[in-house]
Amino acid sequence: MRMAESEFSWDSILMGDNVKKLLKKCGEGVKIRPLAKIVDPHMVEIDDYSIIDDFVLIAGGKGVTIGKFVHISSFCTVVGGGQLIVEDFSGLSAGCRIITGSDDFSGQSLTNPCVPKKYKPFMYDGIVKICKHAILGTNTIIHPNVIIGSYAATGSNTVVLKDLDSACIYVGSPARKIRDRQKEEMQRLENELLRETYGAYGTKPTF
């Protein structure tokens, strides 16, 4: 019983507001819902006014950097042990899977995190970058070593295996481009919001 209570207490430290003080960086106005969990929080940076919803799991891996005004919706996961960069104003809809690294599935080695690394010589840690104003539709899956271009969008259940161009909309498995995405109004509204938030220069003052 004592062990169960101890485990519960440790889990609660990694969840909600409790985990903020353990982050490598936590900006102003950041909201981490009570049932969101961040593992290895010392590897995670979250900038101003970003929101992480309940039932999100983020594994810090080699580093997770989340920009300003980023929303990560419920049931999203960030796993794989690699690196993730999410730039300002991006969004992950419910159920997205960001895979930053992977075991080798060819049969040349053992797999899964229960096995020591010396038995998994072909395991690799990658990087995923989600650029500014990108939006991922519900249940989108992003594989390692992929860049989602700025202003790009994916439809529900899209599987991304390679880089996506900026300001384009993609659907399907694997992802295919269906049309361009407008960005001019988003740029205008971004500038307006930043001026409203940070003042005339649109940037946070440094001292």
H/E segment holding residue 121: none
- 15-65, pLDDT tens digit by residue? 999 999 999 999 999 999 999 999 999 999 999 999 999 999 999 999 999
User: What is the arithmetic mean of pLDDT over 172-199?
Assistant: 95
pLDDT of residue 113: 87
- 88-109, pLDDT tens digit by residue? 999 999 999 999 999 889 889 9
Amino acid identity of residue 7, one-letter, is E
Closest CA to 19 of 3, 43, 2, 1: 43
pLDDT of residue 73: 98
Q: Which of 27-31, 56-60, 121-125, 191-195 is predicted with the least confidence, judged by mean pLDDT?
A: 121-125
Q: Which residues contact 86 (CB under 8 A, 6 or more apart)?
A: 64, 65, 66, 67, 70, 72, 92, 130
pLDDT of residue 117: 87
Three-state DSSP at 129 gives strand
pLDDT band of residue 207 (cuts 50, 70, 90) is very low
- Residue range 2-198 forms a domain whose CATH class is mainly beta
Averaged confidence pLDDT in the chain: 92
pLDDT band of residue 11 (cuts 50, 70, 90) is confident
Sign, CA dihedral 127-50-97-186, equals: negative
Q: Where are the domains of the chain?
A: 2-198
